[in-house]
Amino acid sequence: MTKAIIILGSSRGKGETWHAIHEVIGNQSSIPLIDLNDLSISPYDYEHSNQNDDYIPLIEKLVAYDLIVLATPVYWYTMSAQMKIFIDRLSDLLEIRKDLGRKLRGKKIFILASFSTSLPKGFEDAFSQTCDYMGMEYLGCSFIYRGMDPALLETKANQIALAKNVMV
Ligand SMILES: Cc1cc2nc3c(=O)[nH]c(=O)nc-3n(C[C@H](O)[C@H](O)[C@H](O)COP(=O)(O)O)c2cc1C
């Protein structure tokens, strides 16, 4: 059985993205969820003066899982700042912790994005190309609509089913 973990990167812990996650996994799920807001992870630093923050311990935890689900709201057509910092810090794993970077090879990555206005163009490119570069397997993205537009609400069932198929 696939061992999955969810990383939530939003400007609020129990906001729409959190609800979108639970629309997929339900309320009784045993899939662990890590909220990046609970950790101290600072932006990428060329000097690596932040190497003792919570990023490396987080990655050490993640390498025990086969599937890493990155859950982010769409903010201005792209991922949240919290998620971007998480992605930027992958550079640490190519520079000062190559051993750990190698352990990410072959991991499956799925994206869960919540949005409320319109589907962003090119949103997946940064994730899929990052996976290619890191030797991880990109499984795709579910865009979970959290607004009230009837036309977009019609997309929800399919998007939730897509995510369930990968995660549950
Ligand atoms: C700063 C900001 C930028 C946003 N930009 C977009 C956008 O480009 N496209 C969109 O559909 N929704 C956009 N939204 C709406 C959020 O994607 C949506 O409400 C999301 O479900 C919020 O999740 P959260 O509660 O976890 O932040 C934006 C919201 C914020 C706060």
* Residues 8-56 pLDDT 10s: 999 999 999 999 999 999 999 999 999 999 999 999 999 999 999 999 9
Ligand 1 pocket residue status of 133, Cβ below 6 Å: no
> How many angstroms separate the CA atoms of 121 and 99, rounded?
35
Domain residues for the domain of 96 are 4-154
For residue 98, give the amino acid letter.
K
Query: Does residue 41 contact residue 91 with C-beta atoms inside 8 Å?
Result: no
In a domain, 87, yes or no: yes
**What's the mean per-residue pLDDT of the chain?**
97
Give residue 136's pLDDT.
98
In a domain, 74, yes or no: yes
Ligand 1 pocket residue status of 10, Cβ below 6 Å: yes
In a domain, 31, yes or no: yes
In a domain, 120, yes or no: yes
Domain count of the fold of the chain: 1
pLDDT at 69 over 80: yes
> Residue 78: phi, psi to the nearest 5?
-140, -170
In a domain, 165, yes or no: no
pLDDT at 1 over 90: no
CA of 38 to the centre of ligand 1 (A): 20
> How many angstroms separate the CA atoms of 60 and 147, rounded?
36
- Residue 2 binned pLDDT confidence (cut-offs 50, 70, 90): confident
> How many angstroms separate the CA atoms of 85 and 48, rounded?
14
In a domain, 110, yes or no: yes
pLDDT at 111 over 90: yes
Nearest ligand 1 atom to the CA of 147 is: 19
Query: Does residue 115 contact residue 74 with C-beta atoms inside 8 Å?
Result: yes
Query: Does residue 140 contact residue 111 with C-beta atoms inside 8 Å?
Result: yes
Atom 19 of ligand 1 has which residue's CA nearest to it? 116
Atom 4 of ligand 1 has which residue's CA nearest to it? 75
In a domain, 168, yes or no: no
Give residue 110's pLDDT.
98
**Segment (H or E) for 72:** strand 67-73
Here the CATH number for the domain that contains residue 36 is: 3.40.50.360
Does the reported pTM lie above 0.95?
A: yes
78: helix, strand or coil: strand
